[in-house]
């Protein structure tokens, strides 16, 4: 068990560092890319199409970082077994760990940019409250969701390469159903159920509550998001266990 954990952590660390190997700015890209996204959003929705949201940079950044963690992990899930086929074929290697490694790798990118949130909060005149201690719990729910979906996508994309294409379209549509750049308060009440059932919408709202508003997230909605995340993990793992022998054959 300890050996498996060490392997996962070392692979995640290696993959995180490999993303920036050979670039002049190196690890700074983990910070610069979300900052560029922030500048674009701030310009669009403060100047071009103003949404009238106070402290918009910190408002959007608290949601943008966890969304990036989710979207990058899910969009790369389709190739997890295909790209690492040599590793998957090793007798003593458990392929399912690749989903966990991918989630942890992208979590490191999120954590690298997280201090910028604290800077933006301070610049906005707000204070970080004790609710920040709830961050690991929210991250655990999101990590569970990511690993479950990644296992399902990675497994079935081995047999049907359309799965990765469908995933890309789904992530694009889900982005607009997740209140990253807009406030949920502007959504009509008749459509709120779609956001309540969208675990990423709930998680984004929870990150925003903790970091931007300094309040406790809605526990009833978090319970729904947690249930969806656990269900995704169960379905993803069961699909993986059922098809893993076929995966070996296809690879």
Domain that holds residue 30: 2-250
pLDDT of 1 reads: 62
89 contacts 251 by C-beta, under 8 angstroms: yes
Helix-, strand-, coil-residue percentages of the chain, each rounded to 5: 80, 0, 20
Residues 6+ apart with CB under 8 A from 87: 93, 95, 98
Q: What is the mean pLDDT of each run of 10 residues along the chain (251 residues)?
A: 74 78 70 86 85 88 95 94 87 89 93 91 86 95 97 95 94 94 84 86 95 92 95 96 90 75
Whole-angstrom distance, CA of residue 86 vs CA of residue 229: 30
pTM of the model: 0.93
Residue at token pair 């070392």:
10
Angle 225-227-232 from CA coordinates, rounded to 5°: 95
CA distances from 169 to 42, 166, 174, 192, 210 (A): 25, 5, 9, 22, 30
Q: What pLDDT score was predicted for residue 224?
A: 93
pLDDT at 19: 76
pLDDT of residue 23: 67
Work out the angle at residue 44's Cα, subtended by the Cα atoms of residues 42 and 47, and round it to the nearest 5 degrees: 85
| First vs last C-alpha separation in the chain | 27
89 exposed, middle or buried (CB, 10 Å; 0-12, 13-18, 19+)? exposed
* Total of domains in the chain: 1
Query: Cα–Cα distance between 152 and 244 in angstroms, integer?
Result: 11
């Amino acid at each position: 068990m300890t050996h498996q954990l060490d392997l996962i952590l070392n692979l995640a660390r290696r993959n995180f560092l490999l993303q920036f190997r050979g670039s002049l700015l190196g690890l700074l890209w983990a910070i610069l890319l979300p900052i560029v996204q922030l500048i674009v959003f701030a310009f669009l929705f403060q100047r071009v199409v103003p949404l009238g949201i106070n402290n918009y940079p910190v408002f959007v950044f608290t949601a943008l970082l966890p969304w990036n963690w989710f979207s990058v992990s899910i969009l790369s899930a389709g190739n997890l077994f295909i790209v690492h086929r040599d590793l998957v074929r090793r007798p003593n290697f458990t392929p399912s760990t690749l989903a966990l490694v991918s989630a942890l790798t992208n979590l490191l990118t999120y954590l690298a940019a997280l201090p910028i949130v604290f800077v933006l909060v301070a610049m906005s005149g707000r204070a970080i409250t004790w609710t920040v201690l709830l961050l690991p719990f929210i991250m655990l729910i999101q990590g569970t969701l990511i690993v479950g979906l990644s296992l399902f996508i990675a497994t079935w994309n081995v047999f049907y390469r359309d799965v990765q294409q469908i995933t890309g379209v789904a992530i694009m549509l889900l982005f607009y159903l997740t209140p990253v750049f807009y406030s949920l308060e502007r959504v009509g009440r008749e459509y709120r159920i779609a956001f309540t059932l969208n675990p990423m919408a709930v998680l984004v709202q929870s990150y925003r509550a903790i970091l931007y508003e300094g309040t406790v997230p809605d526990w009833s909605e978090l319970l729904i998001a947690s249930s969806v995340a656990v269900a995704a993990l169960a379905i993803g793992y069961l699909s993986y266990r059922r098809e893993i022998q076929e995966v070996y054959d296809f690879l």
